């Protein structure tokens, strides 16, 4: 784009849709083995058999949803005997709403909003599959949202045992879980039939993030909008967050900041300004995905940090300082147990998850009169954490 000043009718975006979270890229890189495993799992459906059940596991922003969507695109195009249904369990958290989504995918319209039982919806789904000789594959995205009140058991039981009450029904499940370990224990009636093939999605390496974001910028921006130096800043922020979606959001917000300045290129200041908002969006999304126990740990750390006035600050361009809460693992557990009634085994597992998600640092050890003791520290400002908390945890 010639010149240094952006005219009122010009834009930096050649294809703005590439910077939306739900965009499925044409070329999906660095997940070849995961894609092969997905295709292997659904392949039996191409031969008229039930597909294998699959569990996609990994931290947020590591390509799980995109990999499943790419697999579903291929099935929709090349497997006329297979119907796919992708359900966002963050938006649909009950068995009834999830099966209503599946009903709409199969029948073409939503079931009546009142007066229709769950059994009737399931009957219609099974009837449609059997009469049309179709095999259904359901992706339950963010299945962790169903773990409360054992709704995951109810949904999986109804899906995977539908053939017992509706002979000829063939259904497979792909569960997508943003965690590095499945701490949830399924009901034996579910665990005995779910038996998923587990596909791991590790965090992207720095160079992988750079390649993905560089390709997205080349396709989505006009030439000259993003320099390599500024791209590296975006990659650094993205790597620190451990979530590719942060980088995609940064590309979009940084370009909008440049447009507001009527500039034809993105500056490092545009990126830093964008990161303040993108970082909070990332934090809010992460906290919203947590269970009440994990949120309770964050709330205790944050509120005690505020009370003690020990919150760290992060300067522009500096490494983030840890928020010294002066909370040993033992002290934190005592407050956690009093708040939730949960035991130390659950507490330890939750600490591990929060550390994996980079919300806390749980590896700080000090020498004391009673030996080595871990200290737990927030990796975000306590005020930001409290601002992003779900009301149920405050």
Separation of alpha carbons 200 and 336, rounded Å: 30
Rg (CA), the chain: 23
Gap between the terminal Cα atoms of the chain: 50
Per the listing, tokens 């300082």 go with 321
* pLDDT for the residue numbered 373: 64
Residues 111 and 211 in one domain: no
Q: What total number of domains does the chain contain?
A: 3
Whole domain around residue 351: which residue ranges? 291-393
Global model pTM greater than 0.85 = no
Going by C-alpha positions, the residue among 122, 123, 136, 151 that lies closest to residue 53 is: 136
Give the domain-ending residue among 200, 223, 240.
Answer: 200
Q: What does residue 133 show for φ and ψ, rounded to 5 degrees?
A: 55, 50
* pLDDT for the residue numbered 321: 44
Kindly state whether residue 7 falls inside one of the protein's structural domains.
Answer: no
Residues 68 and 193 in one domain: yes
* pLDDT for the residue numbered 9: 87
Kindly state whether residue 243 falls inside one of the protein's structural domains.
Answer: yes
Task: Evaluate whether 291 touches 393 at the Cβ level (below 8 Å).
Answer: no
* pLDDT for the residue numbered 355: 85
Separation of alpha carbons 87 and 77, rounded Å: 19
Residues 43 and 109 in one domain: yes
Residues 157 and 259 in one domain: no
Residues 159 and 248 in one domain: no
* pLDDT for the residue numbered 370: 47
Separation of alpha carbons 30 and 18, rounded Å: 18
Residues 247 and 317 in one domain: no
- Calculate the CA dihedral of residues 45, 50, 52, 58 and round it to 10 degrees: 80
Residues 128 and 189 in one domain: yes
Residues 54 and 192 in one domain: yes
- The CATH code of the domain that includes 296 is 1.10.10.10
Residues 278 and 321 in one domain: no
Kindly state whether residue 3 falls inside one of the protein's structural domains.
Answer: no
Task: Evaluate whether 130 touches 166 at the Cβ level (below 8 Å).
Answer: yes
* pLDDT for the residue numbered 374: 76
Residues 188 and 320 in one domain: no
Kindly state whether residue 193 falls inside one of the protein's structural domains.
Answer: yes
Kindly state whether residue 363 falls inside one of the protein's structural domains.
Answer: yes
Give the domain-ending residue among 151, 185, 200.
Answer: 200
Give the domain-ending residue among 236, 258, 287.
Answer: 287
Residue 281 CB: number of other CB atoms within 10 A?
14
23: DSSP letter: -
Residue 91 to residues 86, 103, 145, 294, 375, Cα–Cα distance (Å): 12, 16, 9, 20, 36
Separation of alpha carbons 256 and 176, rounded Å: 32
Q: Tens digit of pLDDT per residue, the chain (394 long)?
A: 444 788 888 999 999 999 998 899 988 999 999 999 999 999 999 999 999 999 999 988 999 999 999 999 999 999 999 999 999 998 898 999 999 999 999 999 999 877 899 999 999 999 999 999 999 999 999 998 888 778 999 999 999 999 999 999 999 999 999 865 556 778 888 989 999 999 999 999 999 999 999 999 999 999 999 999 999 999 999 999 889 999 999 999 999 999 999 999 999 999 999 998 888 888 888 888 788 888 999 999 999 888 877 544 444 433 444 444 457 888 999 999 999 999 998 898 888 888 878 888 877 555 554 445 678 889 888 888 988 885 543 3
Going by C-alpha positions, the residue among 134, 130, 135, 194 that lies closest to residue 165 is: 130
DSSP 3-state helix, strand, coil percentages of the chain (rounded to 5)? 55, 15, 35
Residues 58 and 133 in one domain: yes
* pLDDT for the residue numbered 391: 52
Residues 283 and 324 in one domain: no
């Amino acid at each position: 784009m010639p010149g240094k000043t952006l005219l009122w009718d010009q834009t930096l975006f050649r294809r703005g849709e590439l910077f939306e979270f739900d965009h499925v890229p044409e070329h999906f890189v660095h997940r070849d083995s995961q894609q092969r495993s997905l295709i292997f799992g659904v392949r039996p459906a191409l031969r008229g058999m039930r597909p294998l059940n699959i569990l996609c596991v990994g931290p947020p922003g590591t390509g799980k949803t995109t990999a499943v969507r790419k697999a579903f695109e291929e099935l929709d195009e090349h497997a006329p005997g297979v119907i796919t249904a992708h359900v966002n369990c963050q938006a649909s958290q009950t068995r009834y709403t999830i099966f209503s989504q599946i009903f709409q995918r199969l029948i073409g319209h939503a079931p009546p909003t009142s007066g229709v039982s769950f059994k009737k919806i399931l009957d219609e789904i099974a009837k449609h599959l059997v009469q049309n000789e179709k095999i259904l594959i359901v992706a339950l995205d963010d299945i962790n949202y169903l773990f409360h009140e054992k709704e995951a058991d109810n949904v999986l039981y109804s899906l995977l045992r539908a053939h017992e009450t509706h002979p000829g029904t063939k259904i497979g499940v792909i569960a997508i879980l943003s965690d590095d370990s499945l701490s949830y224990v399924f009901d034996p009636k579910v665990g005995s039939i779910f038996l998923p093939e587990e596909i791991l999605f590790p965090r992207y390496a720095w160079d992988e993030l750079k390649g993905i974001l560089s390709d997205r910028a080349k396709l989505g921006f006009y030439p000259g909008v993003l320099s390599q130096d500024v791209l590296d800043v975006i990659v650094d922020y993205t790597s620190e967050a451990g979530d590719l979606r942060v980088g995609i959001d940064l590309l979009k917000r940084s370009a909008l900041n440049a447009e507001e300045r009527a500039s034809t290129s993105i500056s490092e200041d545009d990126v830093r300004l964008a990161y303040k908002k993108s970082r909070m969006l990332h934090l809010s999304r992460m906290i919203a995905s947590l269970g009440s126990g994990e949120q309770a740990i964050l709330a205790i750390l944050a509120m005690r940090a505020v009370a003690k006035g020990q919150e760290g600050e992060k300067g522009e361009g500096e490494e983030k300082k840890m928020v010294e809460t002066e909370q040993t693992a033992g002290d934190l557990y005592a407050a956690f147990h009093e708040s939730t009634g949960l035991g130390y085994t659950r507490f330890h597992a939750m600490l591990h998850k929060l550390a994996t998600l980079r919300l806390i640092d749980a590896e700080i050890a000090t020498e004391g009169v009673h030996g080595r003791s871990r200290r737990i520290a927030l990796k975000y400002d306590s005020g930001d954490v409290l601002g992003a908390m779900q009301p149920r945890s405050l």
